[in-house]
Chain A
Amino acid sequence: DQQVKQNSPSLSVQEGRISILNCDYTNSMFDYFLWYKKYPAEGPTFLISISSIKDKNEDGRFTVFLNKSAKHLSLHIVPSQPGDSAVYFCAAQRGGGNKLTFGTGTQLKVEL
Chain B
Amino acid sequence: NAGVTQTPKFQVLKTGQSMTLQCAQDMNHNSMYWYRQDPGMGLRLIYYSASEGTTDKGEVPNGYNVSRLNKREFSLRLESAAPSQTSVYFCASTRDRGTTEAFFGQGTRLTVV
Q: Which residues of A are interface residues toward B (Cβ below 8 A)?
A: 4, 6, 9, 32, 34, 41-46, 49, 89, 93, 95-105
Q: Given A43-B107, A44-B104, A46-B102, A96 and B97 touching (CB < 8 A)?
A: yes
Q: Are B100 and A43 in contact (CB under 8 A)?
A: no
How many of chain B's residues have a CB under 8 angstroms from any CB in A? Answer: 28
B107 partner residues in chain A, CB cutoff 8 A: 41-43
Q: Given A89-B42, A103-B42, A97 and B104 touching (CB < 8 A)?
A: no
Complex Cα distance, B41 from A96, in Å, reads 25
Complex Cα distance, B40 from A104, in Å, reads 6
Complex Cα distance, B50 from A97, in Å, reads 10
Among the listed A42, A100, A103, A105, which residue makes an inter-chain contact with B102, where contact means beta carbons less than 8 Å apart?
A100
Besides A46-B103, A89-B43, 8 other A-B contacts (C-beta < 8 A): A34-B100, A34-B101, A43-B90, A43-B106, A98-B48, A103-B42, A104-B40, A104-B42
